[in-house]
Chain A
Amino acid sequence: MNPLLRIAEIEGLSRRDALRLTMAGVGAGSLSGWVPVLARADAEGKPVAGLGKGAKKSCIVLWMDGGPSHMDTFDLKPDAKGAGEFKPVATSATGVQISENLPNLAKQMHHVALLRGMSTQEGAHPRAKYLLHTGYREGQGGIAYPALGAIVSSELGREEFPLPSYVSVGGRTYGSAFLGARHQPLVVGDPARGVENLKAFVGNGAFDKRTDLLADMESAFRKEYPVGPGKDHQVTYERAISMMKCKEAKAFDLSQEKEAVREKYGSSRFAQGCLLARRLVETGVRFVEVSLGGWDTHQDNFSRVKNLSGTMDQPVAALLEDLAARGMLQDTLVVWMGDFGRTPKINARGEKPGRDHFPRAWTSWMAGGGVSGGRVVGRTDKEGGTVEERPIGVTDFMATVCKIMGINPDKQNQSGNGRPIRLVDKGYKLVTEVLG
């Protein structure tokens, strides 16, 4: 066995882990008291921080970058002035209609709870993305906030799990802020190519020789400097090296998936991202974000939304069906959302009609993870521009996601300068209708 691994295994938790646990409310005294707590919690498959029910859950966020037009996807208004070109069609959920461009998803709507009363405050992309990823306004109180993925990683990630608990597929996302680099997302640019720098630069035998030499240097350093960052440095290396070697990392290799399954998802990059998300969750990754860009349809809205709907429909439907067939859907919350919705009014500025940014009323959805599907929560007026019933703000939404995941939204973490920061800002109202 690699000596780097051995040392970390014997000595258990690092100082940083210990600090983290203190914040999570586990123990307050010596290290020795915590190790058995961890071991026991683990054996029972329960979370470290004593969260109880629901703690084994994972979350997949399907991020529709640019802000999808709600009136052309999941909240069609055939009688509105700006009705658009698409027809609503019936789905597997009684009384729930969605766009005709989503035929495969229509067959999965019995899993899905549509939230048609989304209403948020930010209408510019970067600020809206920040808001929907963190639950806080950018710059609020002069603090940088962790993304939901980092919160899930820090709350539900298992210490001994060799992969990062927060993975983002398809591009950059928001980070862990004061939760620390350990909960930063592992970003996979192209799902077909897997994780960057996961392979050693030299052959396996040579790599082991290198890490042996490094391990000897590390133990000598720590003998000389027993207090300091040596331990955390070593534990991080140990985790990275075990990730390079672990069987779980095979989850990143899509070629290991059966051809029939791959075909079900489709071959686009987004489709491969959805398949990768399922493989990662199956392996134990707690949070995966898969993004699909192009929804900023100021121009040529209808043909672009039609194309994007096509790109999205098959893989997302396959994901829900696949998760259900594997018995994973109950423990996997799938969230579909974007920056905001788009204006009910069709703009005629360009050659082809478009729709502009619209945070006041839009649609997101949730499925799995115990969410009661086949229903619609909230309603916009007949023009699709005002929420008439059950408005859902960003904190309502975030707190509900936390609740579903078995995370306490009222918990406080400490920011880098020692201020207590709630996972979700106060004043939220849970979307109890989906909580099942």
Chain B
Amino acid sequence: MLKSMQCGLLLFALPVWGLAADPEDVAAKPKAATKPMASTKLKALTGAEVSGRIDKLVLDRLAESNISTSPRANDAEYLRRVYLDLAGRIPTVDEAKDFLDSTDSDKRAKLVDGLLAGKDHARHLADIWQVLLISKNSDARRLDRKAFVDWIAGEFAKNRPYNELVREILTAEGPQDKNPATTFWLSQVTVDRMTDTIGKVFMGSQIQCAQCHNHPFTGWRQDEYWGLAAFVMKVVARPPGGKQTTSPEVKEAPRVVKNRKNLPESAKFVEAKFFGGDKPKVKESQALRPVLAGWLCASDNPYMAKATVNRLWAMMYGRGLVHPVDNINDTNPATHPELLDELTSQFQASNFDLRAMLRAMALSETYQRSSKPVAGNEGALSESYARMPIKVLTPEQLFDSIKTVLGSPEGNRAELRKAAGANKPAAAKAANPEALRNQFLALFEGDADADSTEYLAGIPQVLNLMNSPRMNPPGAALRITQGLGQAEAIDKLYLATLSRPATDKEKERALRAVKESPAPKTAFGDVLWALMNSTAFASNH
């Protein structure tokens, strides 16, 4: 069980990387986890070297299986892909043109750097982490989630070392309006939910399986689960509701309050114990979350870096090296174990630098491969990375991309009102942009654990995309194509939606649609409608 535990990196064995040992880390470190690793893996690499290792290890495996690789994605493919993956939206027409027209040989790296430094990137990561960390459940329905999103987006914008960010979340206390990181705790009202989320997000493990029984495959014991849960049992978190008028608050009580609201029936009361590790020496009245954070956020913790790297990989490549991403255990090995180990070490060596890791991934040749199959890889599985798997846009990416094409919803309000007269008056009600986005996300929301390469929307969602006045402001196509001749207009509609000009064949077909249209004025609207309802638009390829 948990072999990785025994070969965890030792924090103070890494002085070459200039990491200062945090006294808290040392104090909390279990003795069993202090066996140093083989020193061959301890070399810190540059970003380009990390990209190179990704490519080497992926190619080695492809060669073993005799699978050919698809060629490098062209500029337009790469542009749209990297915008969606790093900024959470497609590029605007101007952004697309700038990149496509540039003759700079280093333009991909410059694009990636620009995107990683931009506010859309921070927002995109905040969207993803919000879904992971802020539990949606009825107890937390009145919780202000925006405060958390704004806060964590700010931290991502600063590229704060990820382990520090996690430490701040894990130890957060006080009123929510003073410390938005407490939102994590306020959304997980019960001890089992807190423990499950910590396991899933920060440890990449479905330890909740061990909540009610010893896990049959992993060897995780129920005591192990409740040993971890013991670290959070003293947390008192009351979400907003009832007659409460002050900001909801999180604190850690001196001792466990046994209460049916906080604890499930299966709860066991055991001494706090690091999952798969030792019991720390603690006093009963001592705050335990800092001890947990000291262990989990230590740079040699066997879980956190690996879980994070695996999740970042899934964001970029459509699938975790361990899949599902939150099911890391010895019975579910990585497709490329050596690669996962190396990336984990590099992430630790870089002081948990999210941006550096995403940059290395985005600039790897593996990431830059086209999604189009070639002879010799048509049947290859997505986890071979012989070609880039096609990902379906998340609801957030889809909404933000639609907004990129149509312009801000407020700008369309007058048109909406006019259009809605014919279709649905309620749709014309002025709503703030955040509310519009939330409505859209609520309609499209699926299973957070779903496979990102599967199209999962159903009929109500598709009806909304095709027919709702909000998604079809009548003036949008005219505005995009204003002052252009027919052929240029088609190109611009393609640029606005698919981030590339139309091919000759596509142009011919679209022009035919325009020509056949009884009302040429609305004909560009037909082309825009078809583009925005296409698989090409709804996917990242």
Contact = CB atoms under 8 A, between A and B. Distances in A.
Interface stretch (A201-209, A324-332, A379-387): A201-209
A202 B522 contact: yes
Given A142-B208, A210-B526, A417 B459 contact: no
B468 interface: yes
Contacts of A15: 454
B373 interface: yes
Contacts of A126: 138-139, 141
B390 A228 contact: yes
Contact of B193 (A139, A184, A232): A139
Interface in A203-262: 205-206, 209-214, 216-218, 220-222, 224-230, 232-234, 236-237, 239-241, 243-244
Contact of A186 (B139, B445, B459, B541): B459
Contact of A164 (B460, B509, B539): B460
A181 B446 contact: yes
Contact of B536 (A217, A415, A416): A217
Given A197-B463, A213-B526, A217-B530, A418 B458 contact: no
Given A139-B137, A181-B456, A236-B462, A226 B530 contact: no
A209 B517 contact: yes
A232 B522 contact: no
A120 to B, nearest CB: 15
B527 A228 contact: no
B464 A209 contact: no
B460 A186 contact: yes
B535 A164 contact: no
Contacts of B455: 16, 229, 232-233, 236
B59 to A, nearest CB: 20
A180 B460 contact: no
A349 interface: no
Contacts of B448: 416
Given A138-B137, A139-B190, A213 B509 contact: yes
Nearest to B525: A202
Interface string A126-160: 11011000000011011010000000000000000
B74 interface: no
Interface residues of A, dominant DSSP: helix
B522 A227 contact: no
Given A227-B373, A236-B455, A236-B457, A201 B423 contact: yes
A200 interface: yes
A231 to B, nearest CB: 8
Interface residues of A, number: 68
Contacts of A216: 509
A186 to B, nearest CB: 5
Nearest to B392: A229
Contacts of B58: none
Contact of A199 (B462, B467, B535): B467
A418 B450 CA distance: 10
Interface string B326-356: 1100000000000000000000000000000
A70 interface: no
A26 B328 CA distance: 30
Contact of B526 (A142, A186, A209): A209
Contacts of A182: 456, 458-459
B534 interface: yes
Interface in B518-541: 518-519, 522, 526-527, 529-531, 533-536, 538-539, 541
Given A202-B522, A232-B455, A236-B457, A220 B506 contact: yes
Nearest to A236: B462
Nearest to A239: B459
Given A142-B200, A200-B467, A227-B378, A210 B529 contact: yes
Contact of A130 (B138, B536, B539): B138
B423 to A, nearest CB: 7
Nearest to A164: B459
Given A181-B458, A209-B517, A416 B390 contact: no
B373 A226 contact: yes
A16 B456 CA distance: 9
A382 B291 CA distance: 55
Most buried by B among A138, A139, A416: A139
A187 interface: yes
Given A180-B446, A210-B530, A229-B392, A16 B469 contact: no
Interface of A: 15-16, 124-127, 129-130, 138-139, 141-142, 144, 164, 175, 177-178, 180-184, 186-187, 195-202, 205-206, 209-214, 216-218, 220-222, 224-230, 232-234, 236-237, 239-241, 243-244, 415-419
Task: List 4 A-B pairs, minimum CB-CB distance, nearest first.
Answer: A126-B138, A416-B449, A228-B390, A142-B208
Given A209-B516, A212-B513, A417-B327, 6 more contacts: A182-B458, A197-B460, A202-B526, A232-B455, A234-B535, A416-B450
18 contacts: A16-B454, A16-B456, A142-B208, A164-B458, A181-B457, A197-B466, A201-B467, A211-B530, A213-B509, A213-B510, A213-B527, A214-B534, A217-B530, A230-B390, A236-B462, A237-B462, A241-B466, A243-B459
Interface of B: 137-139, 141, 190, 192-193, 196, 200, 206, 208-209, 211-212, 324, 326-327, 371-373, 378, 389-390, 392, 419, 423-424, 445-451, 453-464, 466-469, 472, 505-506, 509-510, 513, 516-519, 522, 526-527, 529-531, 533-536, 538-539, 541
